[in-house]
């Protein structure tokens, strides 16, 4: 950590090569430590650049705890984001279905505006929908609320 950035790649690679050649049970821990230090020191490097710097393969990097934790976090965030998008799309479909049932066809520009609403706006529209008497009320609500 105290080495100048210019020397760090050479020393990290040397340590990694030495450790990989040993059959010691702690070699995985040392590789983990080297990888973590390099990743914290060089935050702007891509995965490929880190691999080249250390002389690791993708599989060796994937075995590190750091990689597994980052992968798990990214996966959890992606799942949450996907759930939110799915919920939003489902609510939009229900609103559009209710509008069609109540007023007949819905103009495509109105559909597009509804599809761009946030979840909170969609939920507010769902409640307001009960008070609409004509399709123009939907457009007026969108103008007023968005």
| Per-residue pLDDT tens over the stretch 101-138 | 999 999 999 999 999 999 999 999 999 999 999 999 99
> Which residue range(s) make up the domain with 23?
8-63
- pLDDT of res. 10: 85
Q: In terms of domains, do 52 and 103 share one?
A: no
Does one domain contain both 83 and 141?
yes
From residue 23, give the alpha-carbon distance in Å to each of 18, 37, 53, 64: 10, 22, 22, 17
- Is 25 inside any structural domain? yes
Tell me, yes or no, whether 37 and 83 share the same domain: no
Tens-place pLDDT, residues 30-76: 878 888 888 888 888 888 888 888 888 888 888 888 889 989 999 99
Q: What is the pLDDT of residue 58?
A: 87
Q: Please say whether the beta carbons of 139 and 132 come within 8 A.
A: no
Q: Are residues 90 and 141 in the same domain?
A: yes
Same domain, 84 and 141: yes
Under the banding of pLDDT at 50, 70 and 90, the label for residue 22 is low
Same domain, residue pair 47 and 86? no
Instruction: Calculate the average pLDDT of the chain.
Output: 88
Residues 14, 40, single domain; the answer is yes
Q: How confident is the model at residue 24 (pLDDT cuts 50, 70, 90)?
A: low
In a domain, 69, yes or no: no
The answer to pTM > 0.85 is: no
**Mean pLDDT (whole number) for 136-146:** 93
- Whether 1 maps to a domain, the answer reads no
74-98 pLDDT tens trace: 999 989 999 999 999 999 999 999 9
Question: Residue 3: inside a domain, yes or no?
Answer: no
Query: Could you tell me if 89 and 138 lie in one domain?
Result: yes
Count the neighbouring beta carbons within 10 Å of the beta carbon of residue 80.
10
Tell me phi and psi for residue 4, to 5 degrees: -65, 150
Give the pLDDT score at 72. 93
Residue 116 within a domain: yes
Q: How many domains does the chain have?
A: 2
């Amino acid at each position: 950590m105290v080495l100048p950035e210019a020397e760090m790649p050479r020393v990290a690679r040397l340590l990694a090569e030495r450790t990989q050649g040993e059959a010691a049970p702690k070699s995985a821990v040392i590789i983990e430590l080297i990888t973590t230090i390099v990743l914290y020191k060089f935050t702007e490097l891509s995965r490929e650049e880190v691999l080249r710097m250390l002389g690791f393969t993708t599989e060796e990097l994937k075995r590190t705890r750091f990689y597994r934790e980052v992968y798990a976090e990214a996966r959890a965030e992606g799942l949450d984001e996907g759930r939110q998008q799915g919920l939003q799309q489902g609510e939009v479909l229900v609103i559009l279905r209710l509008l069609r049932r109540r007023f007949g066809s819905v103009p495509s520009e109105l559909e597009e505006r509804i599809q761009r609403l946030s979840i909170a706006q969609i939920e507010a529209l769902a409640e307001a929908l009960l008070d609409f008497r004509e399709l123009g009320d939907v457009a007026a609500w969108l103008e007023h609320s968005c």
